[in-house]
Amino acid sequence: MKLRELLHYTYIFPILAVGYYFSGLMGSDVIHDVIAGILLIGSVLSAVHHAEVVAHKVGEPFGTIILALCITIIEVALIISLMVAGGDQAITLARDTVFAAVMLILNGILGICILVGGVKYHEQFFARTSATTYLVSIVSILILTLVLPNFTSSVNGPFYNEAQLIFISIACLVIYGVFLMVQTLRHRSYFIVPDEHPEEHYIPTLTKTLISFVFLVVCLVIVVLMAKGLSGTIEDMVRSLGAPKSLVGVIIAAVVLLPEGVAAIRAARSNQIQSSLNLALGSALASIGLTIPAVSTVCIMYDIPLVLGLDKKDVILLSLSVFIVMLSLSRGKTNILYGTVLLVNLAAYIFTVIVP
């Protein structure tokens, strides 16, 4: 690569963000937190760029899978580190984080993509078989992990006992593993829209792809670390507004999901709604299908209680979101109404977090 390319903002921002994070200046005062926020946003935009470079090289649906898996693995690492450090005080952390991520993806990212695409193109078309394949997997894992614990009787409360946790973890991994096989091998065509102008796409070299993949991982790691570092500032801001502490988790989840969100919205603006669906629904599936087994393993090893079952209000909101997404994606085409309804659902979720 040429030196001029390495001086692009997508390489500069991650390097500056890493240096700034380890300098110890974050959290010292408002000015330094503002600088950290700017570097964080720059790293998010850089992550989107590098994810697109990798996607152009490996093709769909592998490009979207790489971005979804990278963010999910880092999200899992963040949750586990906080749970181990927090002990019994963090028993609801995994549930709240996964629920917030799923609600933000299904209602927020997907809603904005559909609305943006509908405004610009009126209707956008995608493979119904891909949406059905995603939703079958997502709904099954959601019910098994976030709803069923409320109705088991082996232990009191929204918990699973150890044997149940092991079974549910294996079930999640089986569903996600078979889904990946379907997406990448047996029915890959479900998730790809034929390209009418393949000659117009630039295919990066192997060297540039490897460099972008390294920077993609660096960007995602530093985004999570800086989001965690800014959590104290965010918590103080939320407290000053008189909002519940649970809003902090929503804000941090939104920051962590920014790279996927920006990439999905850009795809929708380019009339590539199938890529947007692959990113949004793939992220939701990876987030819950990998997070719960990983967290369950840690909780069993360290004997940490793990609350998984949602309360009644959240079950209703989750059911509403899944039902609307299923209806919105049932016809193979989108319009602005679907996007608007999903965003209203998101607003209802955030409002009831603030005003429970």
41-90 pLDDT, tens digit per residue, is: 888 788 878 877 887 787 767 777 777 777 777 777 777 776 776 666 66
Residues 6+ apart with CB under 8 A from 198: none
59: tokens are 């093709």
Residue 271 lies in a domain: yes
Residues in a beta bridge with 159: 307
Residue 2 lies in a domain: no
Q: Match 């993949």 to its residue by tokens.
A: 213
160: tokens are 């699973």
Distance, in Å, from the CA atom of 210 to the CA atom of 103, rounded to the nearest integer, reads 33
Residue 105 lies in a domain: yes
Mean pLDDT (whole number) for 338-353: 95
Mean pLDDT (whole number) for 95-112: 92
Full-model pTM: 0.83
What's the confidence (pLDDT) of residue 165?
94
Residues 6+ apart with CB under 8 A from 48: 259, 262, 263, 266
Nearest CA among 327, 355, 335, 343 for reference residue 128 = 327
Residue 117 lies in a domain: yes
Q: Does residue 255 carry a pLDDT above 60? A: yes
Highest mean pLDDT among 7-11, 246-250, 306-310, 322-326: 322-326
Nearest CA among 224, 275, 236, 276 for reference residue 97 = 224
Reported confidence tier of residue 318, pLDDT bands at 50, 70, 90? very high
Residues 6+ apart with CB under 8 A from 147: 309, 310, 315, 318
Q: Does residue 119 carry a pLDDT above 70? A: yes
Q: Looking at the 3D structure of the chain, how many domains does it have? A: 1
pLDDT mean across residues, the chain: 85
Residue 1 lies in a domain: no
Q: Match 């990798």 to its residue by tokens.
A: 54
Residue 186 lies in a domain: yes
Q: Are 20 and 12 in contact (CB under 8 A)?
A: no
Q: Coil, helix or strand for 159? A: strand
Residues 6+ apart with CB under 8 A from 344: none
Residue 336 lies in a domain: yes
Q: Match 């692959």 to its residue by tokens.
A: 278
Q: With b meaning 16 or more CB within 10 Å and e meaning fewer, what string describes 139-167?
A: eebbebbbbbbeeeeeeeebbbeeebbee
pLDDT in tens, 173-204: 999 999 989 988 888 888 876 554 444 556 78
Range of the domain at 143: 7-195+203-354
Residue 256 lies in a domain: yes
Mean pLDDT (whole number) for 128-138: 93
